[in-house]
Chain A
């Protein structure tokens, strides 16, 4: 592992009286692709939401423990500044009700970038990185909500990249995207890791196997096993449940 970038220290979250994350501790290294696998409802999305503090928008949600980025406690940071450092892609594709161009330029414009050429460059770069450019380059004035599901998903990815974040969190980013395009995006991710740390939450265990340096098996709010991807997908990971899950004999 490279030097630590994101650290979870004894993080627990609750929705009302329901425990979601149970005393979770782990470290994500700089410029690492960090895979997280695990069944639905284990708290993977909650974990991402607690990194960028959007968990605070959910009524009744509380968090204890410490999450640090570069050794700095996220609780001490301005939440909006924090969110701008973290690109987030959630499973549900969301095209904002504005043009494709405006969608991608949204965050930079809120940051006060108003130079049209500069914005054009950002839009083109992000749309190329999310492998959407060829499909929309001639109709950037199309409404983002009128794109197909897979295109909106890539638009969401383009938006997340628009501020050149230092961390990119992908939560099931490929469920609405066809396999060929997914492969092309995966190639882009391998490029992007040079400049950012990528957390990849996926139900496609093979995707984690292809991309991740290390993989964490997460189940019912607990870290079951965290190791090099090769070990997790080998014949003998440390925990039998990991082997069962990866090989589809779970439950």
Chain B
């Protein structure tokens, strides 16, 4: 009768040991997870702690003076803004149209597959190589021809600047846009397309009315990803238009439009690079201030991207 009163479902010795082992393993994995997160938190805390004394609204809106040892970040900030806009103007239409062609029109043959592999490989090319490509293709090859075509002479000539840097950054980001757009298009079920074709809708009508409206969220995510890359990378703009220092207007309309497309410009990533290791006796605070603003910028863009994705996922229609 003694055994009958025992709970037959109570864990035995074996189960207890197994539970313990599982609990241990869980903590080990949690530890590795922390190993990834902690350095990030440490870096952020360190940077923002050291940057705190200089961070203010004026720091963002004033131009740097005395080789960046004093003043703010306006000139590189607005330069980065135009660089991002300029590269997006090129990369978005080209990338999205290319992806639509590859995903919706091209037959799945060797050519399409080769292009796909080429695009993926392009994504793996280091950004400094893109920078050198930009120097060769846009600054050295394209600009002289461009100037000759427009008949520009002397000071009027366009030099390496916003245009060439934007093109280089666009080339660097092209595979990202193509890949993310293709994924977004591929996520739209084939049955939707077939249903439209059966109704006599042309391929283009099907793309416009069914495929694009339902893949917009994925495309937007890719575009935002590209924005933070364009803002953060130094290598592609190093030789193609970004400059170490440039005086721009402190107020008025010209403060908002300081750089022409054929003029060198300042950019956040370049500025950080220069003041960190090229100028002697640079105050620590200024270096960390610049880094903090750049990181904050990218974090804000990325969280905007995540919010957008969450919102669009909520509106998913199937």
Contact = CB atoms under 8 A, between A and B. Distances in A.
Indicate whether A and B interact: yes
Interface of A: 52, 54, 57, 59, 80-84, 88, 90, 92, 94-98, 106-107, 110, 143, 145, 156, 159-160, 162-163
B151 interface: no
Interface stretch (B34-42, B196-204, B220-228): B196-204
Contact of A163 (B191, B200, B214): B200
A83 B198 contact: yes
B210 interface: yes
B156 interface: no
B198 A160 contact: yes
A110 B199 contact: yes
Given A83-B197, A107-B200, A110-B205, 8 more contacts: A54-B194, A54-B198, A97-B213, A97-B214, A97-B317, A145-B318, A160-B198, A160-B199
B171 to A, nearest CB: 31
Contacts of B142: none
Contacts of B213: 97
Contact of B201 (A57, A80, A82, A98): A80
A107 B197 CA distance: 10
22 contacts: A52-B198, A57-B197, A59-B108, A80-B201, A83-B197, A84-B199, A88-B198, A90-B198, A92-B191, A94-B195, A95-B318, A97-B318, A98-B317, A106-B199, A106-B201, A107-B199, A110-B202, A110-B205, A160-B199, A162-B199, A163-B199, A163-B200
Given A84-B200, A159-B195, A106 B209 contact: yes
8 A-B pairs closest in CB distance? A84-B200, A97-B317, A83-B200, A145-B318, A107-B199, A88-B198, A94-B195, A80-B200
Chain B residues touching A, majority SS: helix
A160 B197 CA distance: 11
A106 B200 CA distance: 10
Q: Size class of B's contact patch? A: 20 to 34
Contacts of A145: 317-318
Contacts of B192: 94, 96-97
Nearest to A162: B199
Contacts of B202: 80, 110
B211 to A, nearest CB: 10
A96 B200 contact: no
Contacts of B198: 52, 54, 83, 88, 90, 160
A84 B317 CA distance: 26
B25 interface: no
A54 B197 contact: yes
B47 to A, nearest CB: 44
A107 B107 CA distance: 26
Contacts of B107: 59
Contacts of A162: 199
Nearest to B108: A59
A143 B201 CA distance: 20
Contacts of B196: 96, 106
Contacts of B318: 95, 97, 143, 145
B194 to A, nearest CB: 7
Contact of A107 (B108, B191, B201, B214): B201
Contacts of B210: 96-97
Nearest to B188: A97
A138 B296 CA distance: 50
A97 B315 CA distance: 11
A145 B200 CA distance: 21
